[in-house]
């Protein structure tokens, strides 16, 4: 929690959450039982790359709770945890990687895959009954969540790399090596 004692970090995290919230309202595609293709992950991934995993995870969890407040789809309290604060908090995993182009690619992929695991577990445990007749619940959960997270990850990769290049030399108050 020491990172949040710095007003700049707190302000940056608040701005990232607010931007993620606005971007999350703009959906390219909405899945029937939750999940969408949008740009909400980008500011949270950039924050994690800039400020580290702890700040990224906390900001992601806060965003997840905001998303829950606006568009709740809850069938069980444990599902709520996996699909909202844990899934979006998982985006902070990007902060474990170096804030370079190569690190941003690896961090973005790792963050989205970790988010996928959270949604996958929720899908298997709580949404297996939604699977079409004869479908394995594991396959259904993987296919359902990959249908929106894979395109979202590709868009995030392109935009995170573009933004890293655009931000070279700007705001060097973050972690060493942040471009």
pTM of this prediction?
0.91
Mean pLDDT of 14-30: 94
CATH for 118: 1.10.1760.20
Mean pLDDT of 3-22: 93
Q: 37 and 27 in contact (C-beta within 8 Å)?
A: yes
Work out the pLDDT band at 79, boundaries 50, 70, 90. very high
| pLDDT at res. 44 | 99
What's the farthest any 2 CA atoms get from each other in the chain? 54
Average pLDDT, the chain: 92
Token readout for 133 is: 């007749």
* 137 part of a folded domain: yes
| pLDDT at res. 169 | 67
* 174 part of a folded domain: no
Is pLDDT above 50 for 31? yes
Is pLDDT above 60 for 175? no
| pLDDT at res. 115 | 98
* 177 part of a folded domain: no
Which has the higher per-residue pLDDT, 164 or 49?
Answer: 49
Number of domains in the chain: 1
**How far is Cα 24 from Cα 73, in angstroms, rounded to an integer?**
15
Share of the chain above pLDDT 90, in %: 80
Give the domain range for residue 87. 2-166
> How confident is the model over 35-65, as pLDDT tens digits?
889 999 999 999 999 999 999 999 999 999 9
Which has the higher per-residue pLDDT, 51 or 29?
Answer: 51
Is pLDDT above 50 for 179? no
* 175 part of a folded domain: no
DSSP per-residue string spanning 88-153 = HHGGGGGGGS-SSHHHHHHHHHHHHHHHHHHHHHHHHHHSGGGSPTT--HHHHHHHHHHHHHHHHH
Which has the higher per-residue pLDDT, 1 or 114?
Answer: 114
> How confident is the model over 116-156, as pLDDT tens digits?
999 999 999 999 999 999 999 999 999 999 999 999 999 99
């Amino acid at each position: 929690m020491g990172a949040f004692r710095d007003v700049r970090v707190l302000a940056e995290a608040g701005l990232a959450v607010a931007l993620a919230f606005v971007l999350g309202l703009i959906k390219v595609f909405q899945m029937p039982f939750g999940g969408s293709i949008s740009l909400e992950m980008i500011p949270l991934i950039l924050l994690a790359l800039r400020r580290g995993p702890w700040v990224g995870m906390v900001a992601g969890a806060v965003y997840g709770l905001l998303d829950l407040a606006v568009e709740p789809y809850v069938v069980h309290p444990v599902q709520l945890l996996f699909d909202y604060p844990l899934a979006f908090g998982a985006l902070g995993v990007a902060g474990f990687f170096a804030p370079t182009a190569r690190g941003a690619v690896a961090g973005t992929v790792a963050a989205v895959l970790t988010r996928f695991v959270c949604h996958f577990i929720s899908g298997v445990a709580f949404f297996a009954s939604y699977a079409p007749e004869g479908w394995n619940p594991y396959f259904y959960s993987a296919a359902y969540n990959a249908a929106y997270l894979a395109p979202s990850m590709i868009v995030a990769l392109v935009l995170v790399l573009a933004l890293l290049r655009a931000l070279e030399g700007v705001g060097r108050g973050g972690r060493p090596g942040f471009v």
